[in-house]
Amino acid sequence: MDVARLIEIYLEHLQARKLAANSLRAYRRDLESVAGELVELTGTGADRLAVDLVTASVLRSAFARFAASRSASSVIRAWSTWNGFFGFLVIEGAVSGNPMQVVPKPRNAPSTPKPLQGEDTPERLLRTVAAGARQARNPWPERDLAVLATLLCTGVRSAELLELTVGSLAGRAGDRRLHVHGKGGKNRSIPIEDTLDSLIQSYLESRRVRFGDRLPGGEPLFVDHHGEALRRGGLQYLVRQSLRAAGVSDRVQPGAMVHALRHTFATRLAEDGASAAEIAKLLGHSSINSSQTYIDVTAREQRLSVRANRTLQVLGELSGG
């Protein structure tokens, strides 16, 4: 059978496991990119590349070409994707063995946190956006402030934020929590303090005024200026322009941008005394580190950890609390 068809079968298998749309797109991108290198190396058409032609030697060459213009982390991710792909083919009986075991895998240097630099940067960013300083043809400071505050005070990943619905915000005022569908299908519940809740409620009210719609639980929590679900590009643009308006674009480390707000959340928790277990739980990490099993944290301890975050202090000021 040809590789292109087997890739589609594998992606259907992954889709049946209810993976996030972003994850499925990443799998497809890695599979098709390396397959493109295989097609060139073997001199066959994309729809005529038989899996029998994909030997360990050809795969090594394909990954060498693939790695030439990509970071180690991108190559490692693609390697893992293809390793999973061939593991699936072995189980399905499409191939007799997994050739990825002899394809070199680069070592991934330990990643270091990349929070916003500067002691007052988060507060400066929030105050600037609340004042409506971000230039836009159709200004919506309530939405912008709610998005940035949610990123800074919950530590959710950008993909997680974009998947939030109105129903993700649960509980009564004073005991609000954000239910997050996390990476790898793992769900978690993050305490929401009153100051952040107040900003989100103000945004939702401004949204009702703009579009005159009811907001059932299944509706996306954050939307664009047309009332459609906020997308990845729109979120990146919002954060980039907000940083620029606040004059702090130079305080974002290379490769961070939206993720810098998540790192800022975690860094401030650590600085204010939260334990590694508490931070891992709030961020949705599966483990504290590679050698330590994860530790459950009670809801009360999580709430105390969030409450210690100094970024929340400015939210009370901006929400009039």
Longest dimension (CA), the chain: 67
The string of pLDDT tens digits covering residues 193-247 is 999 999 999 999 999 999 987 888 899 999 999 999 999 999 999 999 999 999 9
Q: Hunting for tokens 């809801």 — which residue is that? A: 299
Task: Identify the bridge partners of residue 229 per DSSP, sorted by sequence position.
Answer: 223
The string of pLDDT tens digits covering residues 129-175 is 999 988 888 899 999 999 999 999 999 999 999 999 999 999 998 89
Q: Give the fold, CATH level 3, of 3-92.
A: DNA polymerase; domain 1 (1.10.150)
CB 281: neighbour CB atoms within 10 A? 23
All CATH 1.10.150 domain ranges of the chain, comma separated, are 3-92
Q: What's this model's pTM, rounded to 2 decimal places?
A: 0.64
Residue 298 has pLDDT above 60, yes or no: no
Active site residues: 157, 183, 259, 262, 285, 294
Superfamily of domain 120-320: Intergrase catalytic core (1.10.443.10)
The string of pLDDT tens digits covering residues 245-272 is 999 999 988 777 898 898 888 888 877 7
Residue 321 has pLDDT above 70, yes or no: no
The string of pLDDT tens digits covering residues 17-46 is 877 788 889 999 999 999 999 999 988 876
All CATH 1.10.443.10 domain ranges of the chain, comma separated, are 120-320
At 72, give phi and psi (nearest 5°): -60, -40
At 188, give phi and psi (nearest 5°): -150, 165
Residue 184 has pLDDT above 60, yes or no: yes
Query: Are the CB atoms for 59 and 100 separated by under 8 Å?
Result: yes
